[in-house]
Amino acid sequence: MTSVPRGPSSRDRGREAEALAEGHLAGLGYRTLARNHATRRGEVDLICLDGEVICFVEVRSRSSAAQGSPLETVGIAKARRVVAAATDWAARNGALDRALRFDVVGVLLDGEAPRFELVKGAFDASGRCCP
């Protein structure tokens, strides 16, 4: 029996997108504090400093724009899971009194070079979209 070669799993593609997003953010001056902080209630992909602001960054990726922007995949339920994990990280690291922000990075992997879209303050602490 011959096995059919498989491409990378969605988890592998997600980790690749997170690494690419982290590099992109570093180029914008962000400094990574932590990666993949998970709790029972949620996970946050990247925790970074942008100046003095602690940013909890959700990374979303797509291999094609045919289904829309990767940013469109962050709904209120996902945002609330990020907020839960972020709150846990901030409490554990004595950062609840610091300036906090929730950012989303979309990574489009449909060509030779990835394309990035960053939304600073994409949602608030209730998980609702910010204007």
Does residue 55 have a pLDDT over 90?
yes
Structural domain boundaries in the chain: 10-123
CATH architecture group of domain 10-123: 3-Layer(aba) Sandwich (3.40)
Helices (H), the chain: 10-27, 76-92
Amino acid identity, position 78: K
Task: Characterize 23-39 residue by residue with b for buried, 16 or more Cβ atoms within 10 angstroms of its Cβ, and e for exposed.
Answer: ebbeeeebeebeeebee
Q: Over the chain, what is the mean pLDDT?
A: 88
Task: Give pLDDT tens digits for 10-21.
Answer: 677 778 889 999
The residue with tokens 């988890």 is 11
Q: Radius of gyration of the chain from Cα atoms?
A: 15
Residue 57's pLDDT band (boundaries 50, 70, 90)? very high
Q: What pLDDT score was predicted for residue 43?
A: 95
State both tokens at 5: 């070669």
State pLDDT tens for residues 71-129. Answer: 777 889 999 999 999 999 999 999 999 999 999 999 988 777 898 999 999 998 988 88
Separation of CA 15 from chain center: 10
**75: three-class secondary structure by DSSP:** coil
Tell which residue, 89, 92, 98, has the closest CA to residue 34: 89
